[in-house]
Structure 1
Amino acid sequence: MAGERVRIRGAVQGVGFRPTAARVARRMGLQGWVRNDAAGVEIALMADGPRISAYLEALTRALPPLARIDALERSEDPSFVADGFMIVASEGEGAPRAVVTVDAAACAACLREVLDPLSRRYRYPFTTCTHCGPRYSIVERIPYDRENTTMAGFPMCAACRAEYEDEDDRRFHAEPVACFACGPRAALRRMDGRAFSADAFSMMDEVDAVATLLARAEIVAIKGLGGYQLCCDATSDAAVAKLRERKLRPDQPFALMVRDLDVARRYAELDAGDEALLTSPAGPIVLLRPRVVDARPLCALVAPEQPCVGVMLPTTPLHHLIMRRLDRPVVCTSGNLHSEPQCLTPAEVDARLAGVADWALDHDRPIAHRVDDSVVRRMAGAPRVLRRARGYAPSWMPLVASPDAPAILAVGAQDKATFAISQGDRVLLSPHLGDLDSEAAFTAYLDSFAALSELYAHRPQRIAIDRHHGYRSAQWGRQLAAARGLEVIEVQHHHAHIAACLAENGWRPAGADDLVLGIALDGLGMGLDGELWGGELLLARYEGFERVASLKPVALLGGDKASREPWRNLYAQLMAEMGWAELDMNFAHLPVVQDLAARPRDLLDSMLRSGTRCPTASSCGRLFDAAAAALDLHRDAISFEGQAAMALEALVTPATLEAAREGEHYPMATPKLGGDGLPYLEPLGLWRAMLGDLHAGIEPSLIAARFHVAVADGLILLAMRAQRQHAFRVAALSGGCFQNALLLALVVDGLRGLGLEVLTHTAVPPNDGCIALGQAAIAAAGS
């Protein structure tokens, strides 16, 4: 009888794949074996081709919840002989190519045990099985076996060992399997070091005591899957204000954890799609429209001036046990100070959070890799990942490249940093690593790179960096390339955005002349010849691009200050459009114009005339900041990126959006720079109409809606102009401004109205978290 070897790559280790493969084989009467190795899973079968094909089809239908097959290769092995079907020991030789499965939220079966007084794992906070629990956050080497994880220091007791070795048990080879007798333990402590009795807070245990502390407006640092979280009662004004003051986070929204869907429904608007996201194995923070609650309402400081509030369910048995008797939301935010990475150890908590948390709930299972909570928002008809971390990353994606393409390291951007490493025709995008402004954050970025590179034995042959030489990631990439003698590929920021969207959607050119219209909207990125871009229409493919239109370049008054003080953008926009004489003659009575008149206009005008600290930029983000300032939304200053633009979006209601779409639109023109240069979006008509609405006393919500519609209208006009001059059938949207649900939906609808197929981000963020993927796709295309 003939034999075959089947090589399977994907999420196939630590997810119950081997026992499933064995059960299906035995049910079909096949002989052979299955094992883990450095590349994934290998199956040897003694059967003819048709029977093996039938087996693989049955196996695909029977996959466990966390398993995923990315690639399957079959090869003949005529000499193979077997008797029965066995699960054999892992083979660790060879270059690591296996997929390390991402961490998964606690499954229903484990939670039933945790809450069952008759179960031996009753109230055990680290209960897990092959369907859930820690994976990436504990793995240190491949293949994914217990001795290669941070569970190696916890020898299994006899009862856990029996489950681990029973092929019919859902804990068969569940590497983190443990119980009270042999596994990690949680411990509560006061941050001031003083003694206490847990019995004063709970009749159960120290984990349950945390619920009492939260209800008493205390701040507790809780060690989760991928790092510490800071938690407090989200309905307590005193607790939330205390956390904001101590964490140095005055306005940026906090995420909420709720006990279950019933509590979530009380505080936010949910539909079936939202519930599916909340209860998925990834267990992300889901951005939802908040409800007005009379009894125990949310503190107003949780998410001030935001269109949405972030909500998640408990992700581990530990969190479920804490939330068990809390019928209110709890703030659950990263355990760090502003601009620093999450704490991973009790020592880091003592060093960095001593002045923030009142209590800490530690545990003794080490964290191998830092992983923050993921954030998802449903926009324009689909769930869209805005922060890709726990439950989603790191994970491999197909790359439009040859299988023997050189290994690439793409270092990403400065903010919302990620990096990517490629192996042939696949690429791994790291989890979200935050902004790289602080030394601690950059060190965490380097640590994550070192860990993932070691895990997959990745040795780059090319390094792709952003053109902005001020980015720390780009500086480091250049230094690393020089030290190793590697080729450096500089990638334009907005080209990387569009390439990331194309790569995520698996776009392949139909021919040498096949191009897409890319629309990239963000704050700033280094363009060509030292220009600053931020609102670009590119005729693009992986290998290159042509800039075919942009937003109007306007001065960044004061340089970097313009990104923090929205009034500067409003002043620069109005001076670029109409000048002070027209503004003063027609609108001097408006409070916003009186506010600008009180600014140091002589100095500002001198800066604009000379260009001193006033680089021009075609920035969409700064245009939105200017509109927000006109409506007195954070006019003087913002405390976090995008704050003014998010407040502007939050101002719009469904009713005012409908009125804006059906009523008279703010006019937008599309002339050429200098009369015969690059087409651009001219907002002069927009500003005159917007100020006219302020003069007429139109409600701010309708003005904000009309602004959104006008920007989308202008982009569609530019796309129509490009369509008349160039042949393309696909449009791709990327950039942080497309985190705005209104703008995204309006632009998608408009482009589809032009007969275009529209590609958007869903699995990868549209913000700078996608830049590394785009850099890798562009560098691979140059092979």
Structure 2
Amino acid sequence: MPQTFQLIISGQVQGVGFRPFVYQLARKLDLKGSVCNNENGVLILINASRERAVEFLNAVLEKAPEASIVQSHSILETDQLQFDDFQITTSKTLHQIDIPLTPDFAICESCKTEIRDTSDSRFGYPFTTCTNCGPRYAITTKFPFEREHTTVASFQMCASCQEEYSNPADRRFHSQTNSCAECGIRLWLTSASGEPVSVVRSELLKKTSGLISDGNIIAIKNTNGYLLCCDAGNKAVIERLRGKKQRPAKPFALLYPSLERVKNNFELNSAEEQALLSPVAPIVILNPKDEIKGLEQESIAPGLGQLGVMLPSSALLTLLMDELQAPIIATSGNMHGSPIISSEKEAVGKLSEVADYFLHHNLEISFPQDDSVIRFAGEQQIMLRRSRGSAPNYMGRSYSGKKKVLAMGAHLKSSFAFVPNSHTYVSPYFGNLDSYDVSERLKKNIHQFIQLFQTLPEVVLIDSHPQYQSSVLGRELSKVWNAELIPVQHHKAHFASVLGEHGLFDSKEKILGVVWDGTGFGEDAAIWGGEFFSYDNYEMKRLDHFEYVDWLAADKMAKEPRLSLLAMLPEEERGLARGKFSETEWKVYTKMLEGNKLKTSSVGRLFDAVASLLDTVDIASYEGQAAMLLENRAGDCKGDGCIDFLEGVAYETIPSKKLIKNIWKAKEAGVSKAHIAHSFIHTLALAVLKMAKQGGYSIIACSGGVFQNALLVEKLVKLAEKAKADLKFNRILSSNDENVSFGQLAYYQHIKK
């Protein structure tokens, strides 16, 4: 009689069609046994000789479903069991859950074909999914990933869907999100006042398309939350949306009907094309070929030369775009600064003054998420917002330890990281915790995770800034749970996030950490943001920084680049900024400078100062606007011959005021503003390599929001090649404050205290 072997496959293996795949492979190889989900992933039992069992395991690993990510596997002989055939059995959970949460997957090509085929039973069904695509994390309520553990459970499968689900030869065999027009999710259209729009079900998306074309704003509930949509070629409706959403200048994302249309309008490299077509289906920042006919580019992204573009992530959006055949605005369904909305009640309550119509559906969303956003510097991926399709798993090396850890992250661009088992979970982006709604969403998601994993944290990590809302909440939760509370300095967490992503904690070589951002509470009570660190043998030390300048008017400084310019001008040159202030403002701010004690080394504020100096922007309407506009202006520079504004200057602490003074001189000498902006970024890149050379570093790890600047990254990559330096950037995670939670965790696990 053959032996019985137990195979356990761990990683992203639930909700990706792994069990149907194993079933079909086992039947093909005439093996008897069973497969089920369990707390560790997928559990397979087979009757076979050891040789055949190993052959089967190798075949499973080699041919695993495309959406799966196998992190570990094991095989061992177990008590002999008798099997008459091979079956998919009910999931077994005997211990604490120890598996990744499967992210949402964009609609696959097979499902697209079906919803467009008039002879197919799913023709026009806007919630068509299969084992390879559809919402996963967004609809999860419990583990393991079974239909009854999702919000799709409230839809009873009809006989036809049940037949597909039960048929091993069908592509929807054991597809947990299976549904159709007869038994599935219902879609309906209403006016802003809640009045139903009378239209037959098959005409709903055609009607919605017509309303968009006629200049209306439609709030559309996608499978991850509401989107506010309007015609991207209608300036009046775009400006109306800006006014109602309270978003005067921040760029909007575009939803395109097809890759072909994107290629017609944008320069697209292979990495960008691959990203657009990936299961993540993110917003990708692209360069237009020229002025795009029929697109209001300046209204969509004021002052910017690039546009954020995505392809439909769901059957619903695919069908809508098939009707429209033209790009539309598709921005998060929320008021500016608030989290994305996912419930009908909240959408109507908060967006009825924004949207003219609502397209609702009755699938509950457990975890609402914004669309992920990425850009590229050549082939180097820069994650701008990690959310739908990417979160909440961290699929790199594990940062688990003996204790259960919750890392609370930062205040802006907040996220949390949780280690309840041997896996690391990094939440999607939430936003600015100054917003009560964002803070409540963060809190709710933390409690949802604790419920999902049935685990309370034993350690809570917080930012060392005592007034960050994430730190305040972390202190409260640590008391409730009687958990150890540990603060981690903001910029050290940034540095640790890159070391963690690249597995560099065991490096035999010392590493230079370059962390540049807007703000972070420093260990000397100054506002850090232009830092150089050294990592060597599990110790992290601050080496140097940008010159300290005055921090003015608290948070107002981050919103008014003119204040950064005033603070960074040498005292004898401050009059150069006089024209940017009223008489009263000038008296107030110059008085503040006389007695100011708070200092900053922030490179984010340095970007602001240069943007103001070049008359690009003096008062910003959204975070990062000055830096984005400055990068855009730098992109207008034609030709080489960049100026090093610190050429010949010997320094350890980078002299910000000298840099500003030299830029002013170049402006007065008639150098073009585009050339100055380009040269400023070039000077910063040179400074990184100079610091590395002075300290004898060959590995350079860069993090912080400043490194979302593609031009800076491109320049660093070119300079590093010449210098034979090894550059490391955040790639899985955003370089901005979204990575702080993961960095706190990595720091806690590896740095000697």
TM-score when normalising by structure 2: 0.96
Cα-to-partner distance string for 1:128-171 (whole Å, 9 max, x where unaligned): 10010111111101111111111111111000000001122111
**Residue of structure 1 in register with 2:246 after alignment:** 248
Residue by residue, what CA displacement relative to the aligned partner does 1:275-319 show, whole Å, maximum 9, x if unpaired? 211111110001101233463132421111224210001111111
Q: Is 1:749 matched up with 2:747? A: no
Aligned position for 1:575: 570
Aligned to 2:61: 60
Cα distance between partner residues in 1 of 2:497 and 2:320: 39
String of CA shifts for 1:175-211, please: whole Å, max 9, x gaps: 1111111001100000123464337xxx951122111
Q: Is the 8 A contact 2:398 2:424 kept in 1?
A: no
- Tell me: CA distance 1:82–1:670, structure 2 relative to 1, closer, same or farther (3 Å): farther
**Which of 360, 363, 375 does residue 362 from structure 1 map onto?**
360
Q: Which whole-Å CA distance do the structure 1 matches of 2:726 and 2:137 have between them?
A: 36
Equivalent residues of 1:669, 1:683 under 8 A apart:
no
User: Distance between the aligned counterparts of 1:650 and 1:608, measured in 2?
Assistant: 31
**Are the equivalent residues in 2 in contact too, given 1:383–1:762 (CA < 8 A)?**
yes
Structure 1, gaps ≥5 residues long? 673-678
**2:455 matched to which residue of 1?**
458
| Distance in 2 between residues matched to 1:204 and 1:263, nearest whole Å | 26
Q: CA deviation at 1:385?
A: 1.9
- Are 2:386 and 2:428, in contact at CA under 8 Å, matched by a contact in 1? yes
Q: Tell me the residue number matched to 1:133.
A: 134
Change (3 A) 1:43 1:342: same
Report if the CA contact (8 A) 1:524-1:532 is conserved: yes
The equivalent of 1:642 in structure 2 is 624
Match of 1:471 in 2: 468
1:522 aligns with 2:504: no
The verdict on how the C-alpha distance between 1:552 and 1:180 changes in structure 2, with shifts beyond 3 A counting, is same
Residue of structure 1 equivalent to 2:532? 537
- The equivalent position to 1:408 in structure 2, one of 383, 405, 408, is 405
Are the counterparts in 2 of residues 521 and 620 from structure 1 also a CA contact under 8 Å? yes
Q: Which moved more, 1:295-304 or 1:233-242?
A: 295-304
**Which residue of structure 2 aligns with residue 317 of structure 1?**
315
- Mapped contact 1:399–1:425 kept (Cα < 8 A): no
Q: Does 1:101 align with 2:83?
A: no
- d(CA) in 2 for partners of 1:641 and 1:542? 37
Task: Select between 298-307 and 224-233 the one with higher mean Cα deviation.
Answer: 298-307
Q: Which whole-Å CA distance do the structure 2 matches of 1:192 and 1:299 have between them?
A: 31
Distance 1:630 1:146, change over 3 A: same
Q: Give the aligned partner of residue 440 of structure 1.
A: 437
In structure 1, the residue corresponding to 2:568 is in which secondary structure?
helix
Map 1:669-708 onto structure 2 (within 5 A). 679-708=652-681
For 2:502, the equivalent position in structure 1 comes to 505
Match of 1:215 in 2: 213
CA contact (8 A) 1:19 1:168 kept: no
- Mean Cα deviation higher: 226-235 or 745-754: 745-754
Q: Show CA shifts across 1:321-365 (max 9, x none).
A: 111132321000110001111111111011101100000000011
DSSP-derived class of the 1:187 partner: strand
Distance in 2 (CA, whole Å) between partners of 1:188 and 1:542 is: 61
Measured at CA, do residues 639 and 770 of structure 1 come closer, stay the same or move farther in structure 2, by a change above 3 Å?
same
- Pairing 1:667–2:646 present: yes
Give 1:395 shift: 1.1
Provide the rounded CA distance (Å) in 2 between the counterparts of 1:116 and 1:541. 60
Q: Distance in 1 between matches of 2:504 and 2:258?
A: 39
**C-alpha spacing 1:244/1:742, structure 2 compared with 1 (3 Å):** same
Distance 1:99 1:466 in 2: 26
Once the two structures are TM-superposed, the CA of residue 690 in structure 1 deviates from its matched residue by: 1.8
Shift in alpha-carbon separation, 1:75–1:375, aligned structure 2, 3 A? same
Alpha-carbon distance change, 600 to 450 in structure 1, aligned in 2, over 3 angstroms: closer
Q: Distance in 1 between matches of 2:99 and 2:239?
A: 46
Change (3 A) 1:16 1:455: same
Residue aligning to 1:606: 591
Letter in 1 for 2:600: A
C-alpha distance after superposition, 1:576-608 (max 9, x if no partner): 5xx23xx76xxx6xxx66546968545433322
Query: Match for 2:624: what amino acid?
Result: G
Q: 1:598 to 1:628 in 2, by over 3 A?
A: farther
> Is 1:554–2:537 an aligned residue pair?
no
TM-fit CA distance, 1:543: 4.9
> Shift of the alpha carbon at 1:424?
5.1
* Distance 1:458-1:195 versus aligned 2 partners, 3 A rule: closer
- The alignment of Structure 1 onto Structure 2 pairs a total of residues equal to 751
Contact 1:502–1:732 under 8 Å retained in 2: yes
Matches within 5 A, 1:207-356: 207-293=205-291, 295-356=293-354
Describe the SS at the equivalent of 1:607. Answer: helix
Aligned counterparts of 1:211 and 1:484: Cα–Cα separation in 2: 50
Could you tell me whether the CA contact under 8 Å between 1:668 and 1:682 is conserved in 2? no
Summarize deviations over 1:379-429 as a string: whole Å, max 9, x none. Answer: 24222321111111111434565x652110000111111101114553110
Q: Give the fraction of aligned pairs with identical amino acids, expressed as a percent.
A: 33
* Alpha carbons of structure 1 residues 195 and 503: separation in structure 2 relative to 1, 3 Å: closer
Q: Tell me if structure 2 keeps the 8 A contact 1:686–1:710.
A: no
Q: 1:350, 1:145 → 2: CA distance?
A: 31
Unaligned runs of 5+ in 2: none
Separation of aligned partners in 1, 2:544 and 2:649: 9
Aligned-pair Cα RMSD in Å: 2.1
- Code of the aligned partner of 1:495: K
**Aligned partners of 2:231 and 2:327 also within 8 Å:** yes
Q: Which amino acid aligns with 2:684?
A: V
Instruction: Report the Cα distance in structure 2 between the residues aligned to 1:420 and 1:602, rounded to whole angstroms.
Output: 45
The residue that corresponds to 1:486 in the other structure is: 483
DSSP 3-state at the match of 1:731: strand
